[in-house]
Amino acid sequence: MHNNIKLNIGILANGSLKKDLKNAIALFIVEMKKGNRLTQLPTATDNIVRKTQSLSMTTKKYRHANIVDVFESNKIGPETIHQVTAYFENGRDPFVGLDKYYLQKKFVEKNFQYVHPIEVKIGERLT
Protein backbone atom coordinates (compact mmCIF):
# COMPACT_ATOMS: atom_id res chain seq x y z
CA MET A 1 0.00 0.00 0.00
CA HIS A 2 2.77 2.47 0.89
CA ASN A 3 4.53 1.88 -2.44
CA ASN A 4 1.54 3.38 -4.24
CA ILE A 5 1.84 6.72 -2.46
CA LYS A 6 2.32 9.55 -4.93
CA LEU A 7 4.00 12.57 -3.43
CA ASN A 8 3.57 16.12 -4.58
CA ILE A 9 7.19 17.03 -3.97
CA GLY A 10 7.27 19.74 -6.61
CA ILE A 11 5.44 22.22 -4.38
CA LEU A 12 8.11 24.90 -4.81
CA ALA A 13 7.70 24.64 -8.56
CA ASN A 14 4.47 26.56 -8.03
CA GLY A 15 5.36 30.11 -9.07
CA SER A 16 3.36 31.71 -6.27
CA LEU A 17 5.06 29.76 -3.49
CA LYS A 18 8.48 30.38 -5.03
CA LYS A 19 7.77 34.12 -5.17
CA ASP A 20 6.45 34.13 -1.60
CA LEU A 21 9.64 32.45 -0.39
CA LYS A 22 11.85 34.86 -2.34
CA ASN A 23 9.89 37.83 -0.96
CA ALA A 24 10.21 36.48 2.60
CA ILE A 25 13.96 36.07 2.21
CA ALA A 26 14.33 39.55 0.70
CA LEU A 27 12.30 41.02 3.57
CA PHE A 28 14.50 39.13 6.06
CA ILE A 29 17.60 40.67 4.45
CA VAL A 30 16.11 44.19 4.44
CA GLU A 31 15.07 43.92 8.10
CA MET A 32 18.43 42.44 9.08
CA LYS A 33 20.24 45.33 7.39
CA LYS A 34 17.98 47.92 8.99
CA GLY A 35 18.10 46.35 12.45
CA ASN A 36 21.88 46.10 12.39
CA ARG A 37 22.60 49.29 10.45
CA LEU A 38 24.28 47.43 7.60
CA THR A 39 22.84 49.42 4.70
CA GLN A 40 26.22 50.82 3.66
CA LEU A 41 28.19 47.61 4.15
CA PRO A 42 27.47 45.16 1.32
CA THR A 43 30.36 42.92 2.35
CA ALA A 44 28.97 42.44 5.87
CA THR A 45 25.51 41.79 4.46
CA ASP A 46 26.87 39.30 1.92
CA ASN A 47 28.73 37.46 4.70
CA ILE A 48 25.62 37.24 6.88
CA VAL A 49 23.54 36.02 3.93
CA ARG A 50 26.17 33.35 3.12
CA LYS A 51 26.17 32.14 6.75
CA THR A 52 22.36 32.06 6.79
CA GLN A 53 22.39 30.26 3.44
CA SER A 54 24.76 27.65 4.86
CA LEU A 55 22.56 27.20 7.92
CA SER A 56 19.52 26.80 5.67
CA MET A 57 21.22 24.08 3.63
CA THR A 58 22.36 22.24 6.77
CA THR A 59 18.82 22.39 8.13
CA LYS A 60 17.52 21.02 4.82
CA LYS A 61 19.90 18.04 5.07
CA TYR A 62 18.79 17.43 8.66
CA ARG A 63 15.08 17.52 7.69
CA HIS A 64 15.76 15.14 4.81
CA ALA A 65 17.51 12.64 7.11
CA ASN A 66 14.62 12.81 9.59
CA ILE A 67 12.03 12.22 6.88
CA VAL A 68 13.93 9.24 5.49
CA ASP A 69 14.21 7.79 9.02
CA VAL A 70 10.45 8.11 9.54
CA PHE A 71 9.72 6.54 6.15
CA GLU A 72 12.10 3.63 6.79
CA SER A 73 10.75 3.00 10.30
CA ASN A 74 7.21 2.89 8.87
CA LYS A 75 8.30 0.55 6.06
CA ILE A 76 7.48 3.01 3.32
CA GLY A 77 8.90 1.75 0.04
CA PRO A 78 12.27 2.67 -1.43
CA GLU A 79 10.64 4.29 -4.47
CA THR A 80 9.01 6.91 -2.27
CA ILE A 81 12.22 7.41 -0.30
CA HIS A 82 14.05 7.87 -3.61
CA GLN A 83 11.50 10.54 -4.69
CA VAL A 84 11.96 12.42 -1.43
CA THR A 85 15.74 12.16 -1.64
CA ALA A 86 15.67 13.47 -5.22
CA TYR A 87 13.51 16.40 -4.09
CA PHE A 88 15.96 17.36 -1.35
CA GLU A 89 19.04 16.87 -3.52
CA ASN A 90 17.62 18.80 -6.49
CA GLY A 91 15.86 21.50 -4.50
CA ARG A 92 17.03 24.98 -5.24
CA ASP A 93 18.74 27.09 -2.67
CA PRO A 94 16.17 29.75 -1.72
CA PHE A 95 18.91 32.39 -1.43
CA VAL A 96 19.89 32.11 -5.10
CA GLY A 97 19.41 35.51 -6.65
CA LEU A 98 19.67 37.25 -3.28
CA ASP A 99 23.15 36.20 -2.24
CA LYS A 100 24.92 39.38 -3.35
CA TYR A 101 24.27 42.97 -2.38
CA TYR A 102 23.53 44.20 -5.91
CA LEU A 103 21.05 41.31 -6.46
CA GLN A 104 19.31 42.12 -3.18
CA LYS A 105 19.03 45.79 -4.11
CA LYS A 106 17.72 44.96 -7.60
CA PHE A 107 15.10 42.55 -6.21
CA VAL A 108 13.93 44.97 -3.50
CA GLU A 109 13.66 47.86 -5.95
CA LYS A 110 11.60 45.73 -8.33
CA ASN A 111 9.32 43.93 -5.83
CA PHE A 112 8.83 46.32 -2.90
CA GLN A 113 7.91 49.97 -2.56
CA TYR A 114 11.52 51.09 -2.55
CA VAL A 115 12.27 54.75 -1.95
CA HIS A 116 15.58 55.77 -3.47
CA PRO A 117 17.78 57.78 -1.11
CA ILE A 118 18.62 61.35 -2.00
CA GLU A 119 21.78 63.15 -1.08
CA VAL A 120 21.42 66.35 0.90
CA LYS A 121 24.46 68.37 1.82
CA ILE A 122 24.49 69.54 5.39
CA GLY A 123 23.66 73.20 5.63
CA GLU A 124 21.59 73.27 2.44
CA ARG A 125 17.83 73.24 2.09
CA LEU A 126 15.75 70.90 0.02
CA THR A 127 13.76 72.69 -2.67
pTM here? 0.53
Phi and psi torsions of 77, nearest 5°:
-60, 155
Q: Is the separation of the CB atoms in 101 and 16 below 8 Å?
A: no
Mean per-residue pLDDT over the chain, rounded: 75
What does the pLDDT look like over 40-83, one tens digit per residue?
A: 556 777 888 888 888 888 888 888 888 888 888 888 888 888 88
C-alpha span between 34 and 87 (Å, rounded): 34
Q: What angle do CA 29, 18, 90 make, to 5 degrees?
A: 100
- Tell me: the pLDDT tens digits for 75-113? 888 888 888 888 777 777 778 888 888 888 888 888 888
pLDDT at residue 5 is higher than 60: no
